[in-house]
Structures are given as C-alpha cells and as structure tokens.
C-alpha cells in the first residue's frame, strides 16, 4: 500500500500510540542543552506578542465538570447576554426592604370603679418597639402563588356574601310569611 497502511486481512501488530509518537520515541534523543534553549524561545515569543499588543495564546485547562474535555480557549462572554441575565435576576428578586424599628410611647387610660362607688381614671404608660412590615403576608416563594392566594381570598369573600344574602332572603321570606299568616287569621 503506498500510504503505508497494511493490506486488509494482514495481522500485523500495531501499537496503541499514533505513528508520529512511535517515530519520535525511536529517534535518537536530543541533548538537554537544546531543550533548555526552547523555554527561552517561548519567553521571547511571549515578549514579542506583548510588545505587539496581542494577547498571549490561551492556556489549556482541564475541566472535568464539562465531560473532561480540554478547553483551549476561555468561554466567550457576550456583554449583552450578561446584562440581560442581570436584569432578569433583578426582576425576579423582590427588593429586600430593611425592617425599620420604631419606638412608640403609648398611654393607656382606663376607668376603674372604686368600692365606694366612685369611678377613677388611671393612666398607664407603655413603651413598645414596632417593626414595620411584620404583619405583611409571607413572601411569595413559587410563581403564581400570589394569584392563587388572591383567588382563594376572593372565593372566601364571595362565599361569605352569598351566605349573608341567603340569610337576608330567608329573613325576608319569613317576614312575608308572618304577614300573610296574620292576614289569614284576621
């Protein structure tokens, strides 16, 4: 075969390494003096790239989280996409308002009855620390939860109104029946 491949059906032993690696391992090894000159060349290339204002070549990194592939280039960040992500995160997170505390002085006036039959007014002063926003509803944790709670409150209010209307109608009906019975008796 002119390409150097063995003919099909021929059982020739091959190594697991590519042919380029086999050739380099069979070739005579270079002296260590030449190997020491290569890092100096690499440094000079980096210096020339920096002098030209070009970025240095990317550094290969292993990333086992992404399926253990070697990444030769850092991920490309698009500023528009990053800005959109930030806006989205600002949109979904409600702003956290600081819980303001304020101190209130309350004066309670009450009417006490004395055993002699006299009534006396007594005043008591109380200092209370109030946190604003404590009586608010719990924060919404799921999408659509606010709508569901609003629907539930509306249904409860409608059921209460219907019940009041039924009792009012029943009362009117009872009154009408009483009037009719009184007229029949006369």
Give the count of domains, the chain.
Answer: 1
- 36 located within any domain: no
Residue 164 has a pLDDT of: 97
In a domain, 8, yes or no: no
Domain encompassing residue 123:
104-133+147-185
Q: Can you give the pLDDT at residue 119? A: 87
Q: What's the CA gap between 55 and 39, in Å, rounded? A: 19
What is residue 64's predicted lDDT score, i.e. its pLDDT?
A: 61
Number of alpha carbons in the 13 Å side-chain half-sphere of residue 127: 3
Tell which residue, 82, 63, 85, has the closest CA to residue 73: 63
pLDDT reported for residue 79: 92
In whole angstroms, give the CA distance from residue 22 to residue 16.
10
pLDDT at 19: 47
Q: What is the pLDDT of residue 15?
A: 43
In a domain, 22, yes or no: no
Does residue 60 lie within any of the structural domains? no
Written as six digits, the tokens of 146 are 């606010």
**53 in a structural domain:** no
Mean pLDDT by 10 residues, the chain (186 residues): 48 45 46 53 78 82 61 81 93 76 89 84 90 63 88 96 96 87 72
Hey, CA dihedral for 86, 87, 88, 93, is it positive or negative? Answer: positive
Residue 121 inside a domain? The answer is yes
- Does residue 5 belong to any structural domain of this protein? no
- pTM for this one? 0.27
Question: What is the SS3 string spanning 3-43?
Answer: CCCCCCCCCCCCCCCCHHHHHHHHCCCCCHHHHHHHHHHHH
Which residue shows structure tokens 């409150």? 153
Kindly state whether residue 87 falls inside one of the protein's structural domains. Answer: no
């Amino acid at each position: 075969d002119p390409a150097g491949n063995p003919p099909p059906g021929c059982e020739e032993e091959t190594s697991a390494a590519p042919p380029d690696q086999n050739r380099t391992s069979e070739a005579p090894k270079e002296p260590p003096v030449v190997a020491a000159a290569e890092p100096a060349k690499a440094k000079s290339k980096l210096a020339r790239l920096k002098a030209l204002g070009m970025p240095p070549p990317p550094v290969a990194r292993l990333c086992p989280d992404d399926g253990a592939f070697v990444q030769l280039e850092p991920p490309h960040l698009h500023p528009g996409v990053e800005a959109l992500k930030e806006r989205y995160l600002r949109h979904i997170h409600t702003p956290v308002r600081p819980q303001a505390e304020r101190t209130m002085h309350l004066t309670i006036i009450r009417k006490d009855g004395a055993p002699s039959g006299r009534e006396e007014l007594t005043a008591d002063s109380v200092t209370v620390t109030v946190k604003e926003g404590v009586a608010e509803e719990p924060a919404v944790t799921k999408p659509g939860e606010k709508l569901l709670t609003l629907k539930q409150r509306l249904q409860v209010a409608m059921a209460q109104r219907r019940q009041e209307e039924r009792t009012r109608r029943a009362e009117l009906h009872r009154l009408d029946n009483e009037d009719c019975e009184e007229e029949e008796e006369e």
